[in-house]
Structure 1
């Protein structure tokens, strides 16, 4: 199993190496396409042992990664405002030492392998199709759909309302539905491994992957909240929207994470 995990790590290393061209790609394009590559690698490595459930999990990893990577690539190419925002918030890599770039590359690749590890453990340990696997796959699918709908909704909205905050569709549920979709996706993957993981290191990899990506998504929500407050804070409609719409988790009265400086995303 350790060899299989290393293969996933190596796949993520190869794909996410595009971050050396542009630093932000370690965590954007490199992220999406690394997950897609991991899904393909899992399907190839365990082709003879795939069940309908594990095949679906592998396919969803590929779909998730290709959709996210493709969306981010298209957004970068067509949106000057997005590129400008990323330049302000994320280092462009020009002043980052090579040692730091290599450390970031390795850490990101390890995270991506850990995130997908529950699927590896279900395949490698030959776990039977069970409730945890099925529930996990359903939650994962829900997350992918929600994230896709949120990204499409905001992109379409911004075409006609470029200067207004998005508060339509799933953005009425939470202010960061795309990040919620991300959390749901990886929560589903994590659940799918509950009855498959064996031993401390397998559980450690799963927990580390899920905890880190959840923390990063809350950090992303914080960063977005700060940016939106800066852009729309003088708008009474935005203040009303922010006061009544949870930041990330539906029906949970958590409306702001701006003060939580320990969040990074």
Structure 2
């Protein structure tokens, strides 16, 4: 029942994608996660532990920050609008049935991503080390993603024609995507000792695996765009050849050849 509620919350909020197709996966994503966090706080108010309460609140913070950031960027950044116009279909030619399927698939994904928190609450699992570690990883991911977005935003205001290679961008070339991966890895880890049965595990694994795949796809899309824009710059080539694309300290510098990645 709780999973159905989360799915319905995500359906209602992500329905803004019918106004603008990309909002299914941008604004609809962020605000759906925030809405799910609020729903968890309301549904399990009497059963919340400090850790599960923190995780539900972190979902709200994560969703509001991401949704708000994307909303501001979309309205203020002409370069972002131009980039998205070239890279993402506006949905004007997408059949309505396809939009329905995308809407439902997105809502299901958002419910699956957040399901480990639900399962810890609905299964009345006790607070353990795994739950605490998961919450910490989640918090670190949210902080990293926030810092990465703020760093790039400030840098681009001062250097609109240059690639960003300062701060956390010295660690990996896509630290915002790394923050996203850490956030959902933390959520997934938090449910390891709480989930019961094949269906709960399938939902949690599917949510985590899909978002990681999407983030690697986003890194691939960014790499292709940056190569197109900066490949004639020796500084960029040196930066790209020595800074991992997504995972720190792992010598994976390019994913452009992996056409099966979608993000």
- TM category (shorter chain) comes to over 0.9
Match of 1:148 among 138, 146, 155: 146
2:54 alignment partner in structure 1: 56
Cα distance in 2 for residues equivalent to 1:97 and 1:85: 23
1:137 alignment partner in structure 2: 135
Offset of residue 189 of structure 1:
0.1
1:104 alignment partner in structure 2: 102
Offset of residue 160 of structure 1:
0.3
Offset of residue 241 of structure 1:
0.2
* TM-score, length of structure 1 as denominator length: 0.99
Offset of residue 251 of structure 1:
0.2
Deviating more after overlay: 179-188 vs 82-91 = 82-91
1:18 alignment partner in structure 2: 16
Cα distance in 2 for residues equivalent to 1:82 and 1:115: 27
Q: List, as ranges, runs of 4+ consecutive aligned residues in structure 1 with deviation greater than 6 Å.
A: none
Offset of residue 74 of structure 1:
0.3
Offset of residue 99 of structure 1:
0.5
1:31 alignment partner in structure 2: 29
Match of 1:219 among 217, 220, 228: 217
Instruction: Tell me whether 1:68 sits opposite 2:79 in the alignment.
Output: no
Post-superposition Cα deviations, 1:78-132, rounded to whole Å, max 9, x if no partner, equal 0011011011111101000000000000000000000000000000001000011
Post-superposition Cα deviations, 1:210-234, rounded to whole Å, max 9, x if no partner, equal 0000000000000000000001011
Correspondences of 1:168-207 after superposition (within 5 Å): 168-207=166-205
Offset of residue 33 of structure 1:
0.2
Offset of residue 44 of structure 1:
0.1
In structure 1, stretches of 5+ residues that fail to align are none
- The number of residue pairs the alignment matches comes to 263
Post-superposition Cα deviations, 1:177-205, rounded to whole Å, max 9, x if no partner, equal 00000000000000000000000000000
Cα distance in 2 for residues equivalent to 1:251 and 1:32: 29
Offset of residue 151 of structure 1:
0.1
Cα distance in 2 for residues equivalent to 1:55 and 1:158: 36
Cα distance in 2 for residues equivalent to 1:247 and 1:217: 11
1:6 alignment partner in structure 2: 4
1:160 alignment partner in structure 2: 158
Instruction: Tell me whether 1:249 sits opposite 2:240 in the alignment.
Output: no
1:47 is paired with a residue whose SS is coil
RMSD: 0.3
Cα distance in 1 for residues equivalent to 2:65 and 2:225: 25
1:49 is paired with a residue whose SS is coil
* TM-score, length of structure 2 as denominator length: 1.00
Offset of residue 250 of structure 1:
0.1
